[in-house]
Structure 1
Amino acid sequence: MLATSEGTATLVIADATNYIKSFRYELFCSAKSLKQLHSVLFLDVPRSTSEEFNAQTKRYPEQVHAELCDRFEAPNPANRWDQPLFRFRLEDSFDDLPDEAAAMNPCEESLVFTEVESLAHAVVNTLVETRRQALPNKSTQAAVAKSADFLLDLDQIVNLVADHVMTSQTMGASFCRLPASLLNPGTESPSLKLLPRFTPHSISRAKQSFLRLVKVNPPAERSRLALAAMFFRFLMHSPQ
């Protein structure tokens, strides 16, 4: 979405899987490479309040909600990928209210919408006024591989290796080596363990991740064997 957005008037809100700090770092790097403004908005809600929201909406089963809470990694203003950090606590909005208003249920929708809308305006205005922008550096200004022949060859090799891995699994093998068609005489092939098994989804995800990685970080050695071995090593460290 970031990569396909055009102009400076587009506002992209990534409100999924951003509870993991590694994903927030990836978003920061993407914004940096695209020379876009970036910030983190932390809606700091106590776990008990979150449980109350979930009980009312029944969006997640209790166990799933508990697991999501356990996996949550709160943003840290000391981390550059969590800057600038805007933190909002619903309870804070009651501090200056009269006693009868402060006694309202924190889950009151109208109050939530009003407070969040005010915060959203503050965030956007701050970003526009300060023009806080992550500048690209060598680590994010990647040398994208543009050769059509190279990209076509890369795609064919990755598909060949992926199909070979899935076929080896179907035959009941516990490990496999590179396809013989890619090996030179006397060449030693790395070995890939097939336990646990790759699924069609996991092998497809690994293929896409590897292709993106190589396209923005093209290797010096681009022979078919070198690329196949590189993908093989990538699979060794990919979740199955």
Structure 2
Amino acid sequence: MPLVMMCGLPCSGKTRRATELLDYIKAHHDTEVHLVQDSFQVSKNNCFASSNEEKIVRGDIKSNAERLLTIESIVILDSLNYIKGFRYELFCISKHVKTPHCVIVCEAPVETIQEWNKTRGAEEKYSDEILKALVMRFEAPDSRNRWDCPLFTIYPDDPLPSQQILDALLKRKPPPPNQSTQSQPLSATDFLHELDRKTQSIVTSIVEAQRTAVPGDMVTLPGASEKFCLPRSIPMAELRRIRRQFIAYTKLHPVEDNARIPTLFVQYLNKTI
């Protein structure tokens, strides 16, 4: 099933449109559908003021798309998706899964966006500086690009063409995968799920262990036959970055026994940190 990329400036109505589409699909199509939204570890303003923090958020979006997208599910990504190269990466994920995709861009005048932003609560509001920067950095989708096509442009007062969007997704053939989007066949059908679940469990356990452990302690982690040597206090951002690196490598070099994943991840942590 398809990947739907929402796209647009902050406060342009992406979440409202994504929710409308989600409700329509649930009401008119018997399939599993997931709504994936940004997960911020810091405030929005601090996130978009830091390239590293923003990369972490994009990494999470991409990881969730890879984990949830299957030939039997629809994934709606409710995020800015304002970088052309990032939309191309998401397009490659859909090609790898052999499923169609589309882009829905929410258009609104900058003045309208600024007014809507003022009505938001303090935690959800963008600062004038960050909002201006995101407007300047926005790389608008272009239907001439294969990763931006089919493209649906929605204005604030437009009704959402939900059925046309669904038809464009379900009645199109998926793009043929190419070598750049192919990896070795996975040894188990639940490999990606287990890889994501087991590595996340270990990261969570390390974070909890750091509350009482001191540098040099040997930490026992769930499912791993080897212990993790805690060298220092490790920030969550670093653990998440290393986890993404391990997942990317392991997907290209899958193991036959999912039970080995925790030990391999611990070994990777001990060598990397």
Q: Taking every aligned residue pair, what percent have the same amino acid on both sides?
A: 26
Structure 1 residue 42: deviation in Å?
1.7
- Segments of 5+ residues of structure 1 without an aligned counterpart are 91-106, 184-188
1:24 to 87, 91, 101: 87
Note if 1:85 corresponds to 2:151: yes
Counterpart in the other structure of 1:95 = none
Residue deviations 1:104-163 (CA, integer Å, cap 9, x gap)? xxx6xxxx134x43xx5655555667x3632223343332242999x9899778856864
SS of the aligned residue for 2:79 comes to coil
Q: Does 1:217 align with 2:258?
A: no
For residue 21 of structure 1, report the CA deviation from its aligned partner: 4.8
Determine if contact 2:71/2:99 at 8 Å carries over to the other structure.
no
Alignment correspondent of 1:40: 103
Q: 2:126 aligns with which of 48, 58, 64?
A: 64
Query: Structure 1 CA distance, aligned partners of 2:74 and 2:262?
Result: 41
Q: 1:135 aligns with which of 176, 182, 197?
A: 176
Distance 1:211 1:19, change over 3 A: same
* Cα gap change, 1:128 to 1:219, in 2 (>3 Å): closer
Shift of 1:25: 3.7
Q: Letter of the aligned partner of 2:233 in structure 1?
A: L
Partner of 1:144: 186
**1:141 aligned partner, one-letter code:** Q
CA–CA distance in 2 between the matches of 1:121 and 1:148?
A: 32
Task: Look up the match of 2:209.
Answer: 167
Closer/same/farther in 2, CA of residues 227 and 208 from structure 1, 3 Å limit: closer
Q: Distance in 2 between matches of 1:154 and 1:52?
A: 40
Match for 1:144: what amino acid? L
Structure whose alpha-carbon radius of gyration is higher: 1
Amino acid at match of 1:113: D
CA distance in structure 2 between the aligned counterparts of 1:231 and 1:29, rounded to whole angstroms:
28
Q: Partners of 1:124 and 1:148 in 2: how far apart?
A: 28
Is the 1:33–1:141 Cα contact (8 Å) retained in structure 2? yes
Structure 2 unpaired stretches of 5+: 1-33, 35-67
Matched AA of 1:217: L
SS at match of 1:13: strand
Question: How many residues are matched?
Answer: 194
Cα distance, 1:29 vs structure 2: 2.7
TM-score by length of 2: 0.46
Distance 1:216 1:23, change over 3 A: same
Query: TM-score scaled to structure 1, two decimals?
Result: 0.51
Alpha-carbon spacing, 1:229–1:83, altered in 2? closer, same or farther (3 Å): farther
- Contact 1:178–1:229 (8 Å) recurs in 2: no
State whether structure 2 residue 233 is matched by structure 1 residue 194: yes
Please give the alpha-carbon distance, in whole angstroms, between the structure 1 residues aligned to 2:261 and 2:177: 31
Alpha-carbon distance in structure 2 between the residues aligned to 1:154 and 1:85: 31
RMSD over equivalenced CA pairs, Å: 5.1
Contact 1:35 1:135 in 2 (8 A): yes
Shift of 1:86: 3.8
